[in-house]
Chain A
Amino acid sequence: MATSASQAATANRPRPAGDRRRGSGPRTVRSTLGLKLPAVLLLVLWMIVPLVMTLWFSFQRYNLLDASDRGFAGLDNYAYLLTDPGLAQAIWNTVLLVGWVLVITVGLGTLLAVLFDQEFWGRGVARVLVIAPFFVMPTVSALVWKNLLMHPVNGLFSWLARSFELEAIDWFGDLPLISIIVMVAWQWLPFATLILLTSVQGLDPERKEAARMDGAGPVAMFFHIIVPHLSRSIGVVIMIETLFLLSIFAEIFVTTGGGPGFASTNLTFLIYRYALREYDVGGASAGGVIAIVLANVVAMFLMRSLRRSIEA
């Protein structure tokens, strides 16, 4: 720190006029281009090359198991994919999965944020416990939920059900999508809570006090003061979660394998099926293009709100 202090002192010496503007001085904008170039170039390559290849393959007849039969396929891959009964269900499952997890995590996350904003004994430790699931890798949480908790015979939930004389549920067999939604919501609730809690703590205490003076009860306070204050952070939570939830994979891979049938197959998993199980490069690429289009529809809406939030 000593050096920086002395450097700061030298900053006060007289400088030529026009040198005060941000970004002028010995290094011009032109000379910083080289600094940005590696990062920008790498990302362009990482985006463009696979994108072009995916588009190209999606119009090709190309199965890795039969290398002799290759050629231009026109729209065959898309036609095949669009008539696949799995596709509509996979898209619908993706929507359900993302939608329900968002509803659960944002809803409960808001309540938990308010709860953990209150003073209580051992709050710091309790908060650390609540956050933990976020750091558990998806394959581990999938195995824990599949075996230790939701296993139809030896799982904890089935034992609980039986001890209340209820019928044990075969969670991943009979309710595969719901089970995955519950598990993923458990993984993402800490994230929503953490972000919203930070935002609640930034609420001006005087505004709360003023509302209380006006006779607002806890419920009115929650809906008229806290929720409006949180709206921007809720937008951020929705954006970041959507980004990750659209491509949920390991949770399905480990628990249900997309089944039974297509009951728990999302778009990501469907394309994985084409690509690495059936070796159908053309079909998988056409699926990839559809996934990209869908993600971009979502992104357009979300990026607009993100842009607004960084400008504010």
Chain B
Amino acid sequence: MRTRALRRKVIFTVAGWTVALLMFFPVFWMVLASFKTELEAVSTPPSLFFRPTLENYVAVQERADYLRFAWNSVLVSFGSTALALVIACPAAYAMAFFPTRRTKDTLVWMLSTKFLPPVGVLVPIYLIFRDTGLLDVRAGLLMVYTLINLPIVVWMLFSFFREVPHEILEAGRMDGASTREEILHLLLPLSLPGIVSTALLAIILSWNEAFWSLNLTAARAGPLTAFIASFSSPEGLFWAKLSAASTMAIAPIVVFGWLSQRQLVRGLTFGAVK
């Protein structure tokens, strides 16, 4: 019996790791290319043994552009997440602790706004932005991201808040805490892990969003998605530098994702899968 169990484990180890390496391979291959010279990056057969160089990273860094795009990404994704949290917190609090007959309808309606395809409203948003001078302005993109993520943020906060024991908040209320004090000093500390994972998901979604960023921004306010897309035209010669830039663009968010994978599942399914 023990040898059979051992054999089972060996088989699953081989299968599991094969799948894992295959799935991760494109990312690994990109990171590898970022340490090659441009010539090695395009050579066939592919060079596996080479002297790693940091010159691509230096080159990307020297293009002052990169840092501006990265800074735009940070500002827009963190800013929109913070703003969405500020707007969503009171709403989720009200819906979780003072539900009415309409609460569920409101929640479903909020999520249904996500079914409005962005391209369906591209033209009006584009024209509004053009006429108000928001095209290629960070604040404009930040506003759009706040609004696209708002339904998801409300949903997630709602499902996390619902797990906070009602009695604790009620006690605070009895002691004369105002709504603001109740949310700030009782609810937020108690549901901090949930809020953090909500924030992580919103940041990841905004960081990787590439429809509005490509259509509403250019050189001035463009985040990293726009920066990377600008590399799509020159073929061949800049693969190593492109890989370095790509690695820098995704590294923070991949690490973010890895750290929060467990919470993300709950967030992504709005608690529907336990």
Q: What residues of chain A have their CB less than 8 Å away from a CB belonging to chain B?
A: 3-4, 7-11, 13, 15, 22-23, 25-29, 31-33, 35-36, 38-40, 42-43, 46-47, 49-51, 53-54, 57, 112, 115-116, 118-123, 125-149, 153-154, 156, 158-159, 162-163, 186, 189-191, 194-195, 198-199, 202, 232-233, 236, 240, 243, 246-247, 249-250, 253-255, 267-268, 271-272, 275-276, 281, 284-285, 287-289, 291-292, 295-296, 298-299, 303, 306-307, 309-310
Main secondary structure of the interface of A (DSSP, over half): helix
Q: Given A43-B110, A250-B229, A272 and B179 touching (CB < 8 A)?
A: no
- Contact partners of B165 in chain A: CB under 8 A: 8
Contacts of B242 in A (CB 8 A): 143, 147
A35 to B187, CA, bound (A): 15
CB of B171 within 8 A of CB of A148, answer no
Check A8–B91 contact: CB distance below 8 A: no
Q: Which residues of B pack against A, CB within 8 Å?
A: 8-9, 12-13, 15-17, 19-21, 23-24, 26-27, 29-30, 33, 41-46, 87-88, 90-91, 93-95, 97-100, 104, 106, 108, 110-128, 147, 150-151, 154, 165-168, 170-175, 179, 185-186, 189-190, 204, 207-208, 210-211, 214-215, 224-226, 228-229, 231-232, 235-236, 239, 242-243, 246, 249-250, 253-254, 256-258, 261, 264-265, 268-270, 272-274
A144 B29 Cβ-Cβ under 8 A: yes
Q: Which residue among B16, B42, B90, B166 has the maximum number of chain A CB atoms within 10 Å of its CB?
A: B16
Are A134 and B257 interface neighbours, CB within 8 A? yes
Q: Quick check: A139 and B228 within 8 Å, CB to CB? A: yes
Number of A-B residue pairs with CB-CB distance less than 8 Å in the complex they form: 342
Contact A136 B147 (CB under 8 A): no
B residues near A27, Cβ cutoff 8 Å? 98, 173, 179
Complex contact B111–A195 (CB within 8 A): no
Identify the closest chain B residue to A191 (Cβ): B268
Contact (Cβ within 8 A) B15 A137: no
Query: Are A288's CB and B215's CB within 8 A?
Result: no
Across the interface, do A143 and B123 meet the contact criterion of CB distance under 8 Å?
A: no
| Contact in complex: A49, B26 (CB < 8 Å) | no
Our pick among B112, B120, B270, B273 for the contact of A303 (Cβ within 8 Å) is B112
Known: A11-B167, A131-B257, A147-B239. A159 touches B46 (CB 8 A): yes
Contact A154 B214 (CB under 8 A): no
Q: Cα distance A53–B167 when bound, in Å?
A: 47
A3 contacts which chain B residues (CB < 8 A)? 185
Give chain B residues whose Cβ lies under 8 Å from the Cβ of A159.
44-46
CB distance from B50 to the nearest CB of A (A): 15
Residues of B near A287 (CB, < 8 A) are: 119
Given known A-B contacts A137-B208, A288-B119, A307-B108, A131 and B261 have beta carbons under 8 A apart: yes
The answer to whether A138 and B225 have CB atoms under 8 Å apart is yes
Closest to A248 in B: B211
Nearest-Cβ distance from residue B163 to partner chain A, whole angstroms: 14
Q: A36-B94, A284-B122 are in contact. Are A136 and B270 (CB under 8 A)?
A: no
Point out which of B19, B100, B154 has the most chain A C-beta atoms below 10 A from its C-beta: B19
Contact for B12 among A119, A137, A147, A289, CB less than 8 A = A119
B30 engages A135 (CB within 8 Å): no
Report, nearest first, the 7 A-B pairs whose CB atoms are least far apart: A250-B210, A50-B121, A53-B124, A35-B90, A135-B257, A32-B94, A126-B20
Q: Which residues of B contact A39 (CB under 8 A)?
A: 87-88, 90-91, 110, 150, 154
Given the contacts A128-B261, A137-B208, A11 and B27 also touching, CB distance less than 8 Å: no
Indicate which residue in B41, B91, B250, B274 contacts A38 across the interface (CB closer than 8 Å). Answer: B91
Shortest C-beta distance, A115 to chain B (Å), equals: 6
A135 to B255, CA, bound (A): 9
Q: Given A144-B29, A254-B229, are A129 and B21 neighbors across the interface (CB < 8 Å)?
A: yes
- Whether B100 lies near A29 (C-beta < 8 A) is yes
A122 to B10, CA, bound (A): 11
Give the distance in Å from the alpha carbon of A25 to the alpha carbon of B177 in the complex. 12
Q: Which residues of A contact B173 (CB under 8 A)?
A: 25-27
With a CB–CB cut-off of 8 A, which chain A residues contact B128? 49-50, 53
A36 touches B186 (CB 8 A): no
The answer to whether A154 and B168 touch (CB under 8 A), given A29-B98, A292-B117, is no
